[in-house]
Homo-oligomer: A and B are copies of this chain.
Amino acid sequence: MSIETDIKQKKFRSPFQKLALNLVYTTKWLEYKQLESFKEHDITPQQYNVLRILRGQQGNPIKVSDITERMLDKSSNTSRLVDKLLAKNLAKRTSCESDRRAVDVVITEEGLELLNVLDPFIEDWENRFNIISEAEAEQISALLDKLRENED
């Protein structure tokens, strides 16, 4: 359904305003869809994001601050997210020897297993994006990157 119909707004100030609204609206829609898969497994999107970053380390420990750098939402409180993963035995935390302020985090076997269970669900809805072509997906990604260039 078009964004015009979805939010019942016929006119937009400009194609840029329309795009801004559409980005927010589409992302909310997407996050909502993901949420449905996640909550069955008692995990939040943010916790999932951290778990995936941990898996990406392939066994190597990673500091809390480095996790934050890789997160989609950099303003989130990584410390407390890691707490949640610890409480569920999905991650382990050990103090870092080279810098005793820092804390090393590693994914556990149980964490890897949970990701294995979740993977097919996530892939499933990613594959729904097949409705557009791979080239179109790449093109949007490139344009989104461009939008964020204006950093001021």
Contact = CB atoms under 8 A, between A and B. Distances in A.
In the complex, the count of this chain's copies comes to 2
A144 B3 contact: yes
A83 to B, nearest CB: 22
A30 interface: yes
B13 A126 contact: yes
A8 B9 CA distance: 37
Nearest to A19: B137
A131 to B, nearest CB: 6
A72 B24 contact: yes
Interface residues of A, number: 57
A75 interface: yes
Contacts of A135: 15
Interface of A: 1-3, 6-9, 13-32, 56, 69-73, 75, 123, 126-132, 134-138, 140-141, 143-150
The 10 A-B pairs at the shortest CB distance, nearest first, are namely: A16-B129, A15-B137, A27-B27, A19-B137, A128-B150, A26-B144, A15-B134, A16-B126, A22-B141, A15-B138
10 contacts: A15-B135, A16-B126, A18-B138, A20-B129, A23-B27, A32-B75, A129-B147, A132-B143, A136-B143, A140-B143
Given A16-B130, A19-B141, 7 more contacts: A1-B145, A7-B72, A13-B123, A18-B137, A19-B137, A19-B138, A21-B72
